[in-house]
């Protein structure tokens, strides 16, 4: 079927990499794999991070104008070439959808949402307009696909929630894991790392808010004396406006042990995951953490924060360890446990690879999405 796709947070062809952009691309890829024709309906970014009502109002008005333009465009096509369904990815109070509900209503097609969250505390606050817009859009949705079970509790109609396991194409990560020693030798040479020591890896954008808070929590944990006493090296992949703050954090917490790589293209990441020994990320307020899924797909065990949808990715005691992300002592103890026990790391690595292959792969997601779309259209 023909699917109109929209990501108000960040379009899938945006120049700046992020987990949000990657997930939008994966959704489109999964829909295509299921045989659907996917069309990017709009590139409008509706996100307002400052709580500026005037800006939010302008974005809403622009969204309405774009919706009316799309309606005219779609209705000018033959019926056989119009969208049969609309899918909006990542809907919440800071990035509401001002386009999809109006277009889907005018075309009389189902409106679907993938990944949505509702924050009742935003009512009558700085993002009240976006909060009400999100509630209005969700009220129209035939189904709400969620990756994070924590989100379902605040959604207005649990009967319309459809679970979808976080997913990716595991092939490049599995291939990198099979060539681990090649990637490890290359990275040791590039960053002057000691291959005899365990390598810790963190992959995340460097921006204010939850990401910076996670970097702060990680630096506090790695600076603990119980970890300073052990041999290890840290590789950090990522960049962003909080770069200087992040560099300062680890200059104090892990001096001469941290290598900053900067931003990498998606095709470069599998080698970094495969070459490393342990993924470390507090994941404060993460929806689920795509980097954690990429790490697990590469056979990389993780120490991560027990928050949001992270337990959907990391199985505690099986493919990694989950701890309180706000407790530097607990996080440090978990890292010590796995840094000191290579055999347990290897066992977790094998389980992580198997789990992603079985439960978080692209073909399984394509099949599940296909069933959800057909259900929304009332097809068998």
In angstroms, the first-to-last Cα distance of the chain is 13
Report the SS3 class of residue 4. Answer: strand
DSSP state of 234: E
Contacts (Cβ under 8 Å, ≥6 apart) of 182: none
Q: What is the pLDDT of residue 136?
A: 96
Q: What is the pLDDT of residue 380?
A: 37
Distance in angstroms (rounded) separating the CA atoms of residues 36 and 27: 11
255's tokens: 């001096």
Q: What is the pLDDT of residue 118?
A: 87
Tell me if 313 sits within 8 A of 166, measured CB to CB.
Answer: yes
**φ and ψ of 245, to 5 deg:** -65, -45
- The CATH architecture annotation of domain 2-167+361-376 reads 3-Layer(aba) Sandwich (3.40)
Q: Where are the alpha helices (DSSP H) in the chain?
A: 19-33, 53-76, 100-107, 128-140, 149-152, 171-178, 180-191, 210-222, 225-228, 243-253, 269-275, 290-297, 328-339, 342-359, 362-376
| Residue pLDDT, tens place only, 118-151 | 888 888 899 999 999 999 999 999 999 998 777 7
Distance in angstroms (rounded) separating the CA atoms of residues 52 and 39: 31
CATH topology of 2-167+361-376 equal to that of 171-359? yes
For CA atoms 320, 189, 252, 339, give the dihedral sign: positive
Q: Which residues of the chain have pLDDT under 50?
A: 380
> Which residue is listed with tokens 């409008």?
44
Stated pTM of the model: 0.86
DSSP state of 361: B
| Cβ neighbour number for residue 267 with a 10 Å cutoff | 8
Distance in angstroms (rounded) separating the CA atoms of residues 207 and 244: 10
Report the SS3 class of residue 244. Answer: helix
Q: What is the pLDDT of residue 378?
A: 87
Domain boundaries, the chain: 2-167+361-376, 171-359
Tell me if 280 sits within 8 A of 303, measured CB to CB.
Answer: yes
Is 3.40.50.300 the CATH number for 171-359?
no
| Residue of 170, 171, 249 lying closest to 206 (CA atoms) | 249
> Which residue is listed with tokens 């386009």?
99
């Amino acid at each position: 079927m023909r699917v109109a796709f929209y990501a108000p947070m960040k379009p899938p062809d945006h120049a700046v990499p992020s987990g949000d952009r990657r997930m939008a691309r994966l959704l489109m890829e999964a829909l295509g794999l299921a045989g659907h024709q996917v069309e990017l309906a709009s590139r409008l970014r509706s996100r307002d991070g400052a709580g500026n009502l005037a800006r939010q109002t302008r974005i809403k008005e622009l969204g309405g104008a774009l919706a009316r333009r799309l309606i005219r465009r779609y209705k000018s096509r033959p019926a056989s070439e119009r969208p049969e369904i609309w899918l909006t990815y990542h809907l919440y109070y800071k990035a509401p959808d001002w386009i999809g509900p109006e277009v889907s209503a005018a075309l009389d097609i189902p409106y679907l949402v993938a990944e949505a969250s509702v924050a009742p505390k935003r009512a009558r606050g700085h993002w009240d307009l976006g909060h009400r817009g999100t509630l209005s859009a969700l009220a129209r949705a035939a189904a709400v696909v969620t990756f994070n079970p924590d989100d379902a509790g605040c959604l207005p109609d649990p009967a319309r929630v459809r679970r979808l396991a976080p997913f990716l194409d595991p092939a490049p990560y599995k291939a990198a894991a099979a060539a681990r020693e090649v990637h490890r030798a290359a990275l040791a040479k590039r960053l002057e790392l000691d291959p005899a020591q365990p390598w810790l890896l963190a992959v995340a954008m460097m921006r204010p808010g939850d990401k910076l808070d996670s970097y702060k929590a990680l630096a506090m944990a790695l600076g603990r004396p119980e970890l300073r006493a052990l041999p290890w090296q840290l590789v950090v992949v990522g960049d962003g406006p909080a770069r200087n703050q992040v560099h300062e954090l680890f200059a104090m917490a892990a001096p001469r042990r941290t290598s900053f790589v900067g931003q990498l293209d998606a095709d470069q990441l599998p080698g970094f995951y495969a070459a490393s020994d342990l993924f470390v990320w507090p994941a404060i307020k993460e929806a689920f953490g795509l980097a954690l899924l990429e790490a697990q797909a590469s056979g990389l065990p993780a120490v991560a924060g027990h928050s949001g949808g992270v337990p959907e990715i990391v199985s505690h005691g099986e493919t990694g360890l989950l701890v309180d992300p706000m407790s530097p002592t607990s996080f440090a103890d978990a890292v010590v446990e796995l840094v000191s026990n290579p055999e347990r790391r290897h066992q977790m690595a094998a389980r992580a690879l198997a789990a992603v292959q079985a439960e978080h792969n692209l073909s399984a997601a394509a099949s599940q999405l296909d069933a959800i779309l057909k259900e929304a259209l009332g097809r068998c």
